[in-house]
Amino acid sequence: MSVDDRFSQELREERYERETGTFSEVITGPVSDWASDFSHADPEWAADPFPIQDDLRQRCPVAHTERFGGVWLPTRYDDVASIAYDTERFSSRSIVISNFRPSLDLAPVGGTPPISSDPPFHHDARKLLLPAFTKTAISRYEESTRAFCHSLIDELNGQDVVDAAQDYAKYIPMRVIGDMLGLPADDTSRFAQFVEDTLETVNLPPEERGERMRPMFDYLYEQVREHVDNPRDDLTTYLINAELYGQKLDPNHVVGTIVLLLIAGIDTSWSAIGASLWHLAGHPADRMRLLAAPDLLPTALEEFLRAYAPVTMARLVKEDLHFRDVDMKAEDWILLSFPAANRDPAHFDRADQVVIDREINRHAAFGLGIHRCLGSHLARMELRVALEVWLSRIPEFSLADPSAVSWSTGQIRGPRALPLRIS
């Protein structure tokens, strides 16, 4: 068998030179009107997007902005759902809105398959990954996740105030997905920087954003080459050896999927765990109720996922089209806000309230349609175990300083500073 040189630095540089796309003007500054000039990179949106979304749903259910070269924002559940299901007219070629639209040639694969892929390729790329992310496959990681959560709590010992976002929530998904991919445990603390450089740089000039993301690609190429030399039982080796249509995967596919699993595996669960702890810290009645009735936790988790859904996706309009009352142009972005859909009173009773024993909860936190979050079973396991361990070890906790809580900006929303008083 010949040497697998798909991941050589030379070939990588060659591909890097060929990467093309279109740039839009970077527009910064405060939002003048949320209906016609919204920005999901705005601090007001990061701090509390729900009143803005509720207002838009009433007066302008498909809002628009000229920022990022043109973006539409539907806030009704039905509109979000219909776009999520309509893969004919809305492409997933890029799912993180920035001032760079990758070349149309990138479809139907996209940069980070399968989340960036369109049918029919999407189905085949996703099928490669599904068996590793079933509920049964994920249950194998529960015991080690639980032990890891306990070790994090052990380290908080002796402190009155801890940052639950930085010292607890963040490390759980970083460690679990790092293990699944077979990345060295010593590197875990670097992953948070990769997440920030990927997701919180969206309104930087595209070249600068590209530079910020390069260390992650350098690191992952290095890890892939190391796995080529030393194959083992993990997802990285699996992807290196995987085949589609009788051939090994394109190197961009392998590394793109690893980027996806790493980034989407971390920021999302980090956000969901943090937002749940933030809610419980600020709502002692809910916290007491969960302590008294631990069986309620799975139901409560679904409600936290609905009310504080961390993930907003994006689509690109394929051809000019009419949607509801607006005319969308080819290459316009759609900010596909599952959080906004989850707060639509037309779809949820008491949509603006957190009801931890909500029995019927058909929420869209993990998306709808063919791009349903691949890692949803992993996320639910991490969230459940993280909260079970926290509540059992630290039953009493409160917000140490509500004004010191900060939330990530961009399409993934969760606490990034969460000082909690634990004694």
| Residue 36 within binding range of another protein, rule CB under 8 A | no
User: Which residues fall within 8 angstroms of residue 58, CB to CB, at 6 or more apart?
Assistant: none
Give one word for 419, left, alpha or beta, with left for phi > 0 and alpha for psi -120 to 50: beta
Nearer to another protein, 188 or 299 (CB): 299
Among 195, 300, 334, 368, binds another protein (CB under 8 A): 368
Q: Using the rule CB under 8 A, is 369 a contact of another protein?
A: yes
In angstroms, give the least distance from the CB of 49 to another protein. Answer: 21
Contact status, residue 22 vs residue 100, Cβ threshold 8 Å: yes
Of the pair 61, 375, the CB lying nearest another protein is at 375
Contacting another protein within 272-311 (CB under 8 A)? 298, 302
- Which residues, 6+ apart, have CB-to-CB distance to 93 below 8 Å? 102, 104, 106, 107, 108, 110, 116, 118, 316
Q: What share of the chain is helix, strand, coil (3-state, %, to 5)?
A: 50, 10, 35
Please, what is the minimum distance in Å from the beta carbon of residue 360 to another protein?
A: 4
For residue 107, the surrounding DSSP H or E stretch is: none
Q: Which string of DSSP letters, residue by residue, matches 294-333?
A: GGGHHHHHHHHHHHT--BEEEEEE-S-EEETTEEEPTT-E
- Only one of the segments 108-116, 205-213, 230-238, 359-367 lies at the binding site for another protein (rule: CB under 8 A); that segment is 359-367
Site string for another protein, 136-175 (x = CB under 8 A): x---------------------------------------
Minimum distance between the CB of residue 380 and another protein, rounded to whole angstroms?
8
Stretch that binds another protein, among 56-64, 131-139, 154-162, 237-245 (CB under 8 A): 131-139
Of 40, 57, 315, 363, the one binding another protein by CB under 8 A: 363
In degrees and rounded to multiples of 5, residue 35 shows phi and psi of -80, -25
Alpha-carbon Rg for the chain in angstroms: 21
Does the protein bind another protein through residue 241 (CB under 8 A)? no
Residue type, 205: P
Closer by beta carbon to another protein, 17 or else 359: 359
Under the binding rule (CB under 8 A), the answer on residue 119 touching another protein is no
Q: How far apart, in whole angstroms, are the C-alpha atoms of residue 84 and residue 315? A: 9
In whole angstroms, how close is the CB of 135 to another protein at the nearest point? Answer: 6
256-248-92 Cα angle (round to 5): 35
Q: How far apart are CA 201 and CA 23, in angstroms?
A: 15
The residue within the footprint of another protein, chosen from 15, 127, 324, 329 (CB under 8 A), is 127
CA distance 420 to 249: 46
Phi, then psi, of 21 in degrees rounded to 5: 175, -170
Nearest to another protein of 8, 376 (CB atom): 376
Q: Could you say whether residue 133 binds another protein (CB under 8 A)?
A: yes
**Interaction of residue 343 with another protein, rule CB under 8 A:** no
| Total chain residues near another protein (CB under 8 A) | 23
Strands 312-317 and 90-91, how do they pair?
A: antiparallel
**DSSP assignment, residue 401?**
-
Is residue 135 a contact point for another protein (CB under 8 A)? Answer: yes
Q: From CA 320, how far away is CA 176, in angstroms rounded?
A: 42
- Residue whose CB is less far from another protein, 324 or 372: 372
* Selected binder of another protein within 64, 225, 377, 393 (CB under 8 A): 377
Residues engaged in binding another protein (CB under 8 A):
127, 130-131, 133-136, 298, 302, 359-364, 366, 368-370, 372, 376-377, 380
